[in-house]
Amino acid sequence: MESVSDRIKKIRDSKNLSQDSFASTLGLQRNSISLIENGKRNASERTIDDICREFNANKDWLLNGGPEESMFVKLSHDEEVAMYTQDLLMDTDDIIATSIKNFIVIYEKLDDASKQVLQSTMKDFLSKMQKEQA
């Protein structure tokens, strides 16, 4: 029977994270995650709560099991965008994240007419890209 330890490992694997990265996100040492995943130590309630919060894991699934499609809490589109935006804002080392943040700041400083021109240009660009891919 699958244990909480097994399900924690499934969450980590589903995010393609090393034990180091997973532990770091949770404020733990890699060794702690290794011990938990190997069933040598039980995850604390705080660790379980942190996993659920940081990785959008379904706490009921984590504690009790069930179908893997229940592993994560289902988010609305807006909730998903908010989650990714929060991750983006926290990222200070990635050139793409920095470029996106800089673009947002520049865009918000534009007047309405300039925003309309940019939106129209982007729509034309995306339309052309779709036609080229078809």
pLDDT digits (tens, 9 = 90+) for 58-92: 999 999 999 999 999 998 999 889 988 888 888 77
Residue finishing a domain among 40, 70, 100: 70
Q: CA of 85: how far to CAs of 54, 90, 133, in Å?
A: 14, 9, 28
Give pLDDT, residue 92: 79
Number of domains composing the chain:
2
Give pLDDT, residue 21: 94
Please check whether residues 65 and 82 belong to one and the same domain: no
Give pLDDT, residue 90: 81
CA–CA dist 96, 102 (Å, integer):
10
Q: Where are the alpha helices (DSSP H) in 65-111?
A: 77-90, 95-109
Please check whether residues 62 and 45 belong to one and the same domain: yes
The answer on pLDDT for 57 being more than 90 is yes
Interval 8-12 mean pLDDT: 97
Asked whether 42 and 2 are in contact (CB, 8 A), the reply is no
DSSP 41: S
Please check whether residues 60 and 81 belong to one and the same domain: no
Query: Tell me: the pLDDT tens digits for 13-50?
Result: 999 999 999 999 999 999 999 999 999 999 999 999 99
Give pLDDT, residue 84: 85
Residue finishing a domain among 70, 88, 104: 70
The answer on pLDDT for 6 being more than 90 is yes
CA–CA dist 21, 41 (Å, integer):
19
Give pLDDT, residue 134: 78
Assign residue 14 the CATH number of its domain.
Answer: 1.10.260.40
Please check whether residues 54 and 93 belong to one and the same domain: no
Asked whether 112 and 120 are in contact (CB, 8 A), the reply is no
Contacts of 14 (CB under 8 A, 6+ apart): 71
Average pLDDT, the chain: 93
Provide the β-strand partners of residue 57. Answer: 72
Residue with more model confidence, 84 or 57: 57
Residue 33, both tokens: 């995650």
Residue 68, both tokens: 């893997």
What residue numbers bound the domain in which 129 lies?
A: 77-133
Interval 115-134 mean pLDDT: 93
Give pLDDT, residue 3: 95
Provide the β-strand partners of residue 72. Answer: 57
What is the pTM (predicted TM-score) of this model?
Answer: 0.64
